Structure 1
């Protein structure tokens, strides 16, 4: 699920201490700087640079090597060295490279990774060296590398994923519900979940998820202030949303174990045929059918309820780069529309972040199959999707928030008490 964070809380906190204690703020040992300590990006595109990716070599060597070859052909005199790091321990690797002043010229990052590095002044603010960003990438992907309380953009968006709704048509039919016209709001979802429970004698569930911080974002409820200094998801609107889930749980519209640590999750339950609704990525149907072929012909999709969540990979440029003009050119080339579209065709679950790709019929037109329809819905959602959780939210914060939400849903405390306590704890940890 998109809600899973790309980096553990311990690594975030350890990284902050490590970067600060090593004095790695400012421009590093790069070249001349412009206003605000930003390196100058002007100059000839030539010479050597290093590209670092995250766990791509085993499956996508031909693609990355092809992009590099095409770049070197376009810019004679350039030479790109490709480093690919394993999936496990990537955040620790970045921190080690940062502490040694050895971040590669173009480094694969996520919003969480780039936030930690940018906060210490280690990354180039791309707004200061590239005035084409807004015209080149969909807004939500850029926003993923723009942080509350910190001016600038600290990553070129690369490939994206988002989520949409999936419905089990048999389960819907059992409740006399129309899968062709599924719920489009939370209130409608709860109403139809109630109808299904009544029609099935309490044996079938539509809903099987509990809210998390990203649920507030999806509903358009602010989670953190504009300065990035204070969490604010204890508003009246947030309390009302949690009350809706609280009442639904009390009515028995969700499985009793939805709050347990060992709960399978709504995606797994949907795949098993146990519930009628889930959210997942654009290639979910194929994955679900591999696990449960009996679902064939029984899955339909619809747009996400509220603001779709966005997961984004990107590439950042460290201030320590000794060849900023070529690093910038490589980052732009890697993330241009043509190269992103080629990558997305290799990986069905991802989409390009380039605005030009929105006009590509290969992504925006379905093939008449449920799988094709789902991918079109996901693709069209990219222009509205946004990263659901602020980068300031650590794993420790999420754990505490989830505990308070669970306590509210079971009736131990009120929704207001739960969110007040959660916000207070998050702000205490944020201040540290």
Structure 2
């Protein structure tokens, strides 16, 4: 699973952390309820009989998540007599390396839980099945963004994973801090440029309080209209005047004291933690983050307002990919479709505060109706955002790349190099890493 939790968007590693933390949360919720999934059909499958034994590999979901998984498996086996689904679960740490090792040794399971970035190198090597061949209704069943996440530039067509579940960010604001520092908590920033303007106002009224507490990332370049990657996914192209101008704007805000000095330190806690501590007035997070904030700092109860993510909401995706070398390809495709159908996804999402990737689920009252609470509002905002959410950070950008970029941006914000030089240095390094695989 992908592990995007409620941390601030200060690092490209949010794509990886979404699954790990979510797996734990999902597991805990489901073991308490004893819930099993529904038994609706998953749709058509590739040619061949749906029979035989296949293996499903999940990511850090057992033992806590065993009940849900076995429920889905039992329902599928009942619907398709003569099928058997074996469950294998891998630890959270080192999952990507494990998957690549399995692929290299021809031991990749039939159906594998993969986020788009881990699926990419396997798709490029022809190891994963193009599931759009197995399911002609793929794009009418799942949201556009979730399908596009597995439709890679490098493969020039094809979709290499069934979208399983989604998440996105909403914005959380400390009501008291905004109202006491010259701002209106009923009108929080809606764009990055409004954020800069209101950060300046807050500093003028409350010099020791902060609205902003983050550096820009690749996703911010995308939001600013910078073409981060070329059309065939082979070269990063973000070292532009527009990206440099954005870094300069962040650098000016930092040097003028609009954000904590710790933002550029190695021991930076992240804006989610600083928000929880009441040290900054804004953070991003998943729809269920408010409960965590209030649990960790009860003084925030009834003092947090939520709003949509700035500019374009980010999209975080998890999916199920199918091994092209499966001995029972039709069965593997049918099971992946079944596990990601609307009924099974809704059952999962309602228990663990994530969102289905199936279009039909978005109108479900649980996700679309505001219950009058800030938690309910956050859930509805996130559900609405997912209709237009986009993957703002290319899957080609791995942790090594984004870490190096982050370091260069920090140097520019400290004034130790120019923004353009930082971008050029990072782009050169990242393209070398991209070329070397």
Instruction: Tell me, yes or no, whether TM beats 0.5.
Output: yes
The match for 1:155 is 161
**Residues 5-24 of structure 1: pairs in structure 2 closer than 5 A:** none
Q: Residue 24 of structure 1 corresponds to which residue in structure 2?
A: none
> What corresponds to 1:418 in structure 2?
422
State the SS of the aligned residue for 1:59.
coil
Q: Paired residue for 1:210, among 215, 223, 226?
A: 215
Given candidates 164, 185, 194, the residue that maps to 2:191 is: 185
Take 2:272 and 2:182, find their aligned partners in 1: how far apart are those partners?
Answer: 23
Q: Give the corresponding residue for 2:13.
A: 4
Find out whether 1:172 has 2:181 as its counterpart.
no
What is the SS of the residue equivalent to 1:127? Answer: coil
Q: Counterpart in 1 of 2:314?
A: 309
Give, in whole Å, the separation in 1 of the partners of 2:303 and 2:202.
17
How far the C-alpha of 1:114 sits from its partner, in A, is: 0.5
| Aligned residues of 1:309 and 1:385 also touching (Cα < 8 A) | yes
For residues 185 and 7 of structure 1, do their structure 2 counterparts lie closer, same or farther at Cα, with a shift above 3 Å needed?
A: closer
CA deviation after TM superposition for structure 1 residue 175, in Å: 1.1
**What is the deviation of 1:351?**
0.8
Aligned CA-pair RMSD: 1.6
Q: Matched residue of 1:128: which SS?
A: coil
Once the two structures are TM-superposed, the CA of residue 6 in structure 1 deviates from its matched residue by: 5.4
CA contact (8 A) 2:350 2:366 kept: no
8 Å Cα contact 1:243/1:415 also seen in 2 = yes
The answer to whether structure 1 residue 392 and structure 2 residue 428 are counterparts is: no
Q: Is the 8 A contact 1:218 1:309 kept in 2?
A: no
Distance in 2 of aligned mates of 1:5 and 1:360: 27
Describe the SS at the equivalent of 1:166: strand
Q: The residue matched to 2:64 in structure 1 has which SS?
A: helix
Report the secondary structure of 1:203's partner residue: coil
Q: CA deviation at 1:237?
A: 2.2
CA contact (8 A) 1:49 1:80 kept: yes
Equivalent-residue separation in structure 2 for 1:96 and 1:225 (angstroms): 29
State how 1:10-409 maps to structure 2 within 5 Å. 41-151=46-156, 152-200=158-206, 202-348=207-353, 350-409=354-413
SS in 1 for 2:76: helix
Q: Offset of 1:189 from its aligned partner? A: 0.8
Preserved CA contact (<8 Å) 1:208 1:254: yes
Q: Which runs of 4+ in 1 moved over 3 A?
A: 5-8
Q: Whole-Å Cα distance in 2 between the matches of residues 97 and 421 of structure 1?
A: 35
Q: Distance in 1 between matches of 2:432 and 2:95?
A: 28
- C-alpha distance in 1, partners of 2:314/2:64? 26
Aligned to 1:28: none
Unmatched tracts of structure 2, length 5 or more: 1-6, 18-44
Q: Which residue of 1 aligns with 2:21?
A: none
Taking structure 2 as the reference length, the TM-score comes to 0.88
SS at 1:81 equivalent? strand
Per-residue deviation, 1:136: 1.1
> Is this contact kept in 1: 2:129–2:323, CA < 8 A?
yes
- After TM superposition, the structure 1 stretch with the greater mean CA deviation from structure 2, 143-152 or 48-57, is 143-152
1:127-180 deviations in whole A, cap 9, x for unaligned?
233221111111111122122222221111111111111000010011121111
For residues 166-202 of structure 1, give each alpha carbon's deviation from its aligned partner in whole angstroms, at most 9, with x where no partner exists.
00001001112111111111121111111111111x1
Unaligned stretches of 5+ in structure 1?
9-39
CA contact (8 A) 2:73 2:85 kept: yes
2:40 corresponds to: none
Count residues in correspondence: 399
Tell me how far apart the structure 2 counterparts of residues 92 and 230 of structure 1 sit (CA, whole Å).
24
Alignment partners' CA distance in 1, 2:250 and 2:147 = 32
Please say if residues 15 and 316 of structure 2, whose CA atoms lie closer than 8 Å, have aligned partners that are also in contact.
no
* Distance apart, 1:7 and its partner CA: 6.0
- How far does residue 240 in structure 1 lie from its aligned partner after superposition? 2.2
Q: 1:143 touches 1:386 (CA, 8 Å); kept in 2?
A: no
After the TM superposition, which of the residue ranges 314-323 and 55-64 deviates more from structure 2?
A: 55-64
CA distance in structure 2 between the partners assigned to 1:187 and 1:429 by the alignment: 32
Deviations 1:266-290 (A, max 9, x none): 0000000110000111111001111
